[in-house]
Every structure is written in C-alpha cells, then in structure tokens.
C-alpha cells in the first residue's frame, strides 16, 4: 500500500481487525521511510447489483436511496439514527444474500417495509402509502387494519 504522506510504495501492516460494520477489515499501517501511520479498509469487491424498476428501467443499486427513504419515513419520529443505520444494514445484507445480479425494486421495497414495520409503525405506514401508491382512504385503512390485526394477535 502506497504511503499517502511520502508516496513510498511499500508500507507494513501493524494491526488488522474487523471494521465496525463487520463487512470490511481495518488495517493500521506504518511507512518505513517517513514513519507516519495511516488506516486503510479492505472490502470484498462485488459485482454491481442492478435494480429493475416498475417501468422496467434498470439502475445500479444505491444504499443511499434506501437510507433516504427510511429517513423520510421516520421524519419527526422518535427513531434513533443508529436504528436507521441498522435497518439499512439489515436490508442490504438481505439484498446481497439473494445472490442475484438483477433484483426487482418490489423485492427491495418489501424488505424496507418489513424493517420499518419493526422499527416504527407510523414510519411503516408513511413508506407504504408512497410505495404502494395508496389511491384513496380505503386502501390506507386496509393497511392500518393489517397492523391493528397483528397487534391483537
């Protein structure tokens, strides 16, 4: 690994451990020439995942889109940022564990709804109302009844 300070192409690893997210390795390195230390992260290279949208357009998977959707659904709700990040991590793990090169957006949407159901019911209904494109009050009420029926059991 090239030293970011002096450009020396040969540095040594002092310490290796799993990173906080568990999906990468954190390495502390030292340069033999300038003596400075720096940190690198090693991650498995994956094949880009393609999401098939409702209109059959295809776009590259974006963790940021999932995170933005959950943050929007949790707006002004008592949901800690750590819980949102954990939900995004869970969704991403499930998406990549499918081991597919192309996944319909509906699969991702359902995974997001499953996570939101456990995270915050109001956020779940908000997301569902946009995702399922509720056309009227009756479809909205049907979704609320599903939640209420689940609580009674």
Residue 5 corresponds to which tokens in the numbers above? 């300070």
Task: Indicate whether 91 pLDDT > 70.
Answer: yes
Is the same domain home to 111 and 58? yes
Edge-first strand listing for the sheet containing 58-60: 58-60, 50-52, 102-104
Tokens of 2: 């090239």
Is 88 a member of any domain? yes
Judged by phi (left if over 0) then psi (alpha if -120 to 50, else beta), residue 22 lies in: left
Q: Say yes or no: 54 and 107 in one domain.
A: yes
Flag whether the pTM goes above 0.85: no
Query: What backbone torsions phi and psi does residue 46 show, to the nearest 5 degrees?
Result: -115, 155
- Do 59 and 78 fall into the same domain? yes
Residues 27 and 75 in one domain: no
Taking residues 2-9, report their average pLDDT. Answer: 94
Domain boundaries, position 24: 11-43
For the chain, the 3-state helix, strand and coil shares in percent, each to the nearest 5, are: 45, 20, 35
pLDDT higher than 70, residue 153? no
Distance of CA 70 to the CA centre of its chain: 10
Q: What is the pLDDT of residue 130?
A: 82
Look at residue 6 and tell me if it is in a domain.
no
- Percent of the chain predicted with pLDDT > 90: 60
For residue 63, pLDDT over 80 is answered with: yes
Q: Are 33 and 55 members of one domain?
A: no
Number of domains in the chain: 2
Query: Are 101 and 118 contained in the same domain?
Result: yes
Q: Are residues 67 and 28 in the same domain?
A: no
């Amino acid at each position: 690994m090239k030293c970011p300070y002096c450009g020396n192409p040969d540095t040594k690893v002092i310490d290796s451990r799993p990173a906080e997210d568990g999906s990468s390795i954190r390495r502390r390195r030292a340069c033999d020439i300038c003596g400075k230390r720096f940190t690198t992260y090693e991650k498995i290279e994956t094949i880009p995942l393609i999401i098939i949208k409702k209109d059959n357009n295809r776009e590259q998977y974006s963790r940021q889109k999932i995170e933005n959707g959950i943050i929007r659904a949790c707006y002004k709700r008592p949901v800690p940022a750590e819980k949102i990040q954990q939900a995004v991590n869970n969704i991403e793990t499930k998406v990549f564990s499918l081991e597919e090169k192309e996944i319909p957006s509906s699969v991702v949407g359902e995974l997001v709804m499953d996570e939101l159901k456990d995270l915050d019911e109001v956020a779940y209904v908000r997301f569902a109302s946009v995702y399922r494109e509720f056309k009227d009050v009756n479809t909205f009420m049907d979704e609320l009844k599903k939640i209420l029926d689940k609580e009674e059991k």
